[in-house]
Structure 1
Amino acid sequence: MQQVSNPFQAMKDIITKPNQVFATINEVHNWSWIPFLFIATFGAIPIYLYFNFVDFAWYNELMVQSVAGELSPGEQSAVRNAMADQAQSLWAGVFGSVFVVIISNAILALYFNFATKADEECVQSYTDWYGFAWWISLPTIVCSLISIVVVLLAQDNQLSPVSLSPTSLAFIFSIDMASPWASLTQSIRLESIWVMYLTSVGLSQWTHFSAKRNYIIAIAPYLLIWVIWALSIVF
């Protein structure tokens, strides 16, 4: 199998030749910094643009009604007064987006490390799987690019924060921010299917499991979280 010569080529080829990419990164080291930097940067840009564009007074009131809409006027006022100002919200969003993907991929790597223990020939360490997690997360850049376009083309600065997740069910089906389903539907995104596919491809290159088992490992964490989340809303 022809190998990939550099991490930038790997980022391009993962769209059309994911098997070659994962076979290559199984043999090389320190390439995962590149997808990390791209994911972190492109994930932060739409948040920066959004908070420099949105009507912040309107945004604050939207957040108050979303989290405290059923509380008394006095309690809503307390929530309103406790909210960060525009600059604080901007930088909290930018750095928070980077922190969230670092932690979520760290947890995902732990899951992969545990799930592949049954393969006695699998020699990858936790740090290998952490690097792996950044490669399978590359489809999130597509969502970030779309959200950048959505913010830049917006005519009304009373733009819902759901616009930062343009591939989510919340955006596609216009789920109201006050809905109990808002957070869950924002987390269910179209690129998740692509991420699951890349995970199964990567596992096929890094382990000796069957294709069926690879798909189960790839799908299980997302499906489990979404089902538990949905049940918590219903009950």
Structure 2
Amino acid sequence: MELVQNPIQAMKDVFIKPNQVFATIAQTHNWSWLPFIFISVLSTLPMYFYFNFVDFNWYRELMISTSAGDLSPAELDMMRQTMQQPQILLVSIIGVLLSTVLSNAVLAMYLNIATKSDEECVQGFTDWYGFTWWVSMPSIVTSIIAVLIVTFASDTQLSPVNLAPTSLAFILGVPMDSSWASLTQAIRIESIWVMYLIAVGLSQWTQLSLRKTYLIATCPFLLIWAVWFLVLSF
């Protein structure tokens, strides 16, 4: 199998030739910094564009109406005073970065444990953590689409659901105040792409059977969504 020559080429080829990419990064070091930086920067851009475009007073009232519950008028006024555009933008950007870093760390821990059954697998947690940034590359497609939606929007009262344009919430038009909003925003089209890339990577990094690689790749996503669905249903 022809290996990839450099990390920039790998970032392109992971979308079209993932087998070569994962075969290559199994033998290289420090390439994962590039997708980490690329994903981190692009994931914050939709937030930056959104909060510099949206009617923030409208956004603030939307967030309060969907999350405040039975707060008193005084408590609602306090929420309005604390929710200011610069602070919300900063918190949102930090939240996106931290959630990505932590979720990838959890995924890496899971993959490290799940592949222990392969005695020939020599990768440790740090290897799998680097691996997670490569399988997360489809998220940049969502970020680019979200930036385009905000850029070409004409109505400043733009729902934050538009920041997840590949989610079921966006596709099905699930309102923010729905009890299903969080779950449907979490289920995204690129998740299928990510699962596929995990399976491809596992096939290159381990001697596990094809069936087991796909089971490992899909299990955490499907299990989380199923439990989340059951909690909302009952």
TM range (shorter): over 0.9
Q: Which runs of 5+ in 2 are unaligned?
A: none
**8 A contact 1:60–1:83 mirrored in 2:** no
Aligned residues: 234
After the TM superposition, list the runs of 4 or more consecutive aligned residues in structure 1 that deviate by more than 2 angstroms.
72-76, 78-84
**8 A contact 1:3–1:20 mirrored in 2:** yes
Root-mean-square deviation (Å): 1.2
**8 A contact 1:64–1:76 mirrored in 2:** no
Partner of 1:234: 233
Query: How much has 1:75 moved relative to structure 2?
Result: 6.9
Query: How much has 1:80 moved relative to structure 2?
Result: 2.8
Partner of 1:2: 2
Counterpart-to-counterpart distance in 1, 2:75 and 2:160? 20
Query: How much has 1:83 moved relative to structure 2?
Result: 4.0
Q: Which runs of 5+ in 1 are unaligned?
A: none
Secondary structure of 1:158's match?
coil
What is the identity, as a one-letter code, of the residue corresponding to 2:205? W
What is the identity, as a one-letter code, of the residue corresponding to 1:59? Y
Partner of 1:18: 18
Partner of 1:167: 166
- How is 1:1-235 mapped onto 2 (pairs within 5 angstroms)? 1-68=1-68, 70-71=69-70, 73-74=72-73, 77=76, 80-81=79-80, 83-235=82-234
Counterpart-to-counterpart distance in 1, 2:41 and 2:112? 27
**8 A contact 2:60–2:80 mirrored in 1:** no
Secondary structure of 2:222's match?
helix
Query: How much has 1:82 moved relative to structure 2?
Result: 6.1
What is the identity, as a one-letter code, of the residue corresponding to 1:32? S
**8 A contact 2:2–2:20 mirrored in 1:** yes
Deviations 1:185-225 (A, max 9, x none): 00000000000000000000001111110000000000011
What is the identity, as a one-letter code, of the residue corresponding to 1:101? T
Deviations 1:17-55 (A, max 9, x none): 100000000000000000001100000001000000011
Deviations 1:83-129 (A, max 9, x none): 42100011111122111100110000000000001100000010000
Query: How much has 1:184 moved relative to structure 2?
Result: 0.5
Counterpart-to-counterpart distance in 2, 1:121 and 1:18? 21
**8 A contact 2:7–2:34 mirrored in 1:** yes
Give the alignment's TM-score, normalised by structure 1: 0.96
Secondary structure of 2:34's match?
helix
Counterpart-to-counterpart distance in 1, 2:215 and 2:224? 14
Q: State the percentage of identical aligned residues.
A: 55
Counterpart-to-counterpart distance in 2, 1:73 and 1:178? 19
Higher deviation after alignment, 151-160 or 94-103: 94-103
